[in-house]
Amino acid sequence: MTSPRPLRRDAEANLQRILDATHQVLCDQGLEFGMEDIARVAGCGVGTVYRRFPNKQALLEHQFRAIKAEMAELVATASADPDPVAGLAHLLAGLGQRMAEDRGLRDLLVGVPGLREEALAARRALKPVIATLLGRAKTAGAVREDVEGSDLSMIVAMLAEVITITSTVDATLWRRYLALLLDSLRPGAGSPLPGRAPNARQLTRMVDATTARRAAAAGRGPAS
């Protein structure tokens, strides 16, 4: 009779292949994938994937825990920098690098069909650290006074789009535009900003609108 220990090792190996495949598919395809894609990359049957994760949502929730831990580490490093401007630059550059490597994270931050709450949660997790770093930078006189925390949220969204547009030409080109954006935050960088920064409700509406557009483009109708 076969002992249970090798079976457990096989099960653990299958799980790791599924998780590795999920990471690869998320990086390459973003959040619009099927369980069949995971099985193909993992080199196993789709039934094996479903035995571990009953649906795509469960698989993504498992993956998001790893993403949240990674983001928490990035936030902690940025917050610990004694120079608030350097900390802010580190946070935005770190987010940019991760979004450049991982289309799934890019999708998560701008909103995708079926994952509205996850997108909002990802933004909420960044909000306090951005507010703290921005406040410290303003106090130090290193950032213009008319910049608000939600402006930086929009900069992250802009950066995500720049990464998407430039990725087929130069995977590092986004850094040029991040440098331009960071320079625009400095005191005396230009004219006073027109209008007002979006509030939390408006940011949520933007995520919802992006999600609805993506759902319509995928032929799914309005997002739930």
Between 201 and 223, where is the model more confident?
Answer: 201
Q: 79-83: which pairs have CB atoms within 8 A and are 24 or more residues apart? A: 79/129, 79/132, 79/133
pLDDT-based confidence at residue 5 (cuts at 50, 70, 90): low
Greater confidence, 14 or 176?
Answer: 176
Give yes or no for a contact between 140 and 56, defined as CB atoms under 8 angstroms apart.
no
- Report d(CA 112, CA 190) in Å as an integer: 35
Please choose, from the candidates 205, 86, 178, 206, the residue with its C-alpha nearest in 3D space to the C-alpha of residue 136: 86
- pLDDT(219) > 70: no
Q: What is the pTM of this model?
A: 0.78
Cα→Cα distances 63→31, 36, 76, 141, 200, Å? 11, 17, 20, 39, 26
**Segment 34-52, tens digit of pLDDT:** 999 999 999 999 999 999 9
More confident residue, 210 or 71: 71
The distance from CA 149 to its chain's CA centroid, rounded to whole angstroms, is 17
Q: Which domains does the chain have, with CATH numbers?
A: 1-54 (1.10.10.60), 63-217 (1.10.357.10)
* Residue 26 near residue 106 (C-beta atoms within 8 A): no
Q: Is there a contact between 143 and 137 (Cβ–Cβ < 8 Å)? A: yes
Give the CA count within 13 Å in the CB-facing half-sphere of 120: 16
Enter the DSSP assignment of 89.
Answer: H
Give which of 53, 63, 61 is closest to 26, Cα–Cα: 63
* Whether the predicted pLDDT of 207 surpasses 70: yes
